[in-house]
């Protein structure tokens, strides 16, 4: 029996170790390559396109109605395709209603007492030398509520003489508009100066007629000019006491040699103090309401 020599026994462990490392490297390569191979997707197969098949019982007209919109609801604002005069009348009424809603803010501003109120309140803020207090939203909101309070009798007459009979179908739409215009015309003629109304009547070359028979195209601009004039008169009266405070403060500062100090630094707190002591908001609101005969 031949026994391995010392030299052979020394080389055999090295060969076994090298073989083990080869197997480990092969296994590591397989682990790294396998996910990349799995991530690859097969090429998409070319499939023939098959169009949608309409169910039985559906005609092209039905498909057209389903694709063009919601069939149960249809709004047509034009007169094309109208078969009866009633259809044209409904379309005209819808257009008139949309136009009226668009012009509603202008109607509130120009045909009510809102113009005078918002101008006077803006003058109060300017007279107090306050730049953004109260804010525009507060001034407009207060003006709207005061307008609603002053115009309440007019709204009640319109509701009683025009809106309720029209909803009860006892009068036509044209008669309702005529009845609604009467209280508004009476209010504007009561507040407008005759001189301003006569100006537009002369421009329109109208014949002499009773005030209640004047058209609204003459009454409305005359009323607006009168409101602007009255609002500016009230604004001037509001500025007078605050201008006196500015003059007194400027004179005192000059006499004390404090020429570098702005007078507004001292006059602004004094204006606010005076306005609060005399209860300025109550006086202004009372004056505005009484100026309309309230």
Supply the pLDDT for residue 92. 78
Supply the pLDDT for residue 70. 46
Q: Residue 228 falls within a domain, yes or no?
A: yes
Q: Residue 147 falls within a domain, yes or no?
A: yes
Q: Which residue has the higher pLDDT, 130 or 31?
A: 130
- What distance in Å separates the CA atoms of residue 94 and residue 19, rounded to the nearest whole number? 94
Q: Residue 110 falls within a domain, yes or no?
A: yes
- What distance in Å separates the CA atoms of residue 87 and residue 84, rounded to the nearest whole number? 6
Supply the pLDDT for residue 86. 56
What pLDDT digit, counting tens, does each position of 6-49 carry? 444 444 444 455 566 666 667 666 665 555 545 444 444 444 44
In the predicted structure, residue 71 carries a pLDDT above the cut 60: no
Domain count, the chain: 1
What pLDDT digit, counting tens, does each position of 249-280 carry? 999 988 888 878 888 888 899 999 999 999 99
Where does the pLDDT of residue 282 fall: very low under 50, low under 70, confident under 90, or very high at 90 and above? very high
In eight-state DSSP terms, residue 4 is P
Q: Residue 59 falls within a domain, yes or no?
A: no
Q: Residue 169 falls within a domain, yes or no?
A: yes
What pLDDT digit, counting tens, does each position of 91-126 carry? 777 887 888 788 777 777 889 999 999 999 999 999
What pLDDT digit, counting tens, does each position of 141-151 carry? 999 999 999 99
Q: Residue 252 falls within a domain, yes or no?
A: no
In the predicted structure, residue 224 carries a pLDDT above the cut 90: yes
Pick from 61-70, 235-244, 271-280: least confident: 61-70
Q: b/e string for 170-184 if b means 16 or more Cβ within 10 A?
A: ebeeeebeebbbebb
What pLDDT digit, counting tens, does each position of 157-208 carry? 999 999 898 888 888 888 888 888 899 999 999 999 999 999 999 998 888 8
- What distance in Å separates the CA atoms of residue 26 and residue 29, rounded to the nearest whole number? 5
In eight-state DSSP terms, residue 2 is P
Q: Residue 72 falls within a domain, yes or no?
A: no
| DSSP output for 23-60 | HHHHHHHHHHHHHHHHHPPPPPPP----PPPPPTT--H
For residue 108, the enclosing domain spans 85-237
Where does the pLDDT of residue 248 fall: very low under 50, low under 70, confident under 90, or very high at 90 and above? very high
Q: Which residue has the higher pLDDT, 213 or 44?
A: 213
Supply the pLDDT for residue 6. 45
Q: Residue 97 falls within a domain, yes or no?
A: yes
Supply the pLDDT for residue 133. 84
Supply the pLDDT for residue 174. 86
Q: Which residue has the higher pLDDT, 281 or 105?
A: 281
In eight-state DSSP terms, residue 204 is T
Separate counts of helices (H) and strands (E) for the chain: 12, 0
pTM score above 0.85: no
Measuring CA to CA, how many Å separate 77 from each of 74, 81, 172? 10, 11, 22
- What distance in Å separates the CA atoms of residue 238 and residue 124, rounded to the nearest whole number? 7
């Amino acid at each position: 029996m031949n026994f391995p020599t010392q030299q052979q026994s020394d080389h055999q462990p090295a060969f076994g170790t090298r073989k083990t490392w080869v197997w480990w490297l092969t296994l590591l390569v397989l682990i790294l390559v396998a996910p990349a191979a799995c991530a690859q997707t097969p090429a998409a197969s070319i499939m023939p396109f098959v169009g949608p098949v309409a169910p039985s019982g559906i005609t092209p007209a039905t498909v057209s109605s389903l694709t063009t919109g919601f069939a149960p609801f249809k709004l047509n604002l034009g007169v094309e395709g109208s078969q009866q005069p009633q259809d044209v009348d409904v379309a005209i009424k819808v257009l008139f209603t949309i136009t009226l809603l668009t012009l509603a803010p202008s109607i509130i501003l120009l045909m009510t007492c809102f113009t005078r109120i918002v101008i006077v309140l803006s003058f109060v803020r300017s007279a107090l030398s306050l730049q953004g207090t109260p804010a525009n939203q507060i001034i407009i909101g207060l003006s709207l509520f005061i307008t609603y309070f002053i115009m309440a009798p007019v709204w009640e007459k319109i509701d009683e003489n025009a809106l309720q009979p029209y909803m009860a179908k006892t009068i036509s739409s044209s008669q309702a508009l005529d009845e609604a215009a009467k209280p508004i015309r009476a209010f504007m003629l009561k507040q407008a100066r005759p001189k301003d109304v006569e100006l537009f009547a002369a421009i329109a070359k109208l014949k002499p007629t009773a005030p209640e028979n004047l058209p609204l195209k003459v009454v409305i601009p005359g009323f607006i000019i009168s409101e602007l004039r009255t609002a500016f008169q009230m604004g001037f009266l509001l500025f007078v006491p605050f201008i006196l405070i500015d003059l007194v403060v400027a004179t005192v500062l000059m006499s004390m040699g404090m020429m570098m100090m702005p007078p507004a630094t001292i006059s602004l707190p004094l204006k606010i103090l005076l306005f609060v002591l005399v209860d300025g908001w109550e006086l202004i609101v009372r004056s505005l309401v009484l100026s309309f005969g309230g």
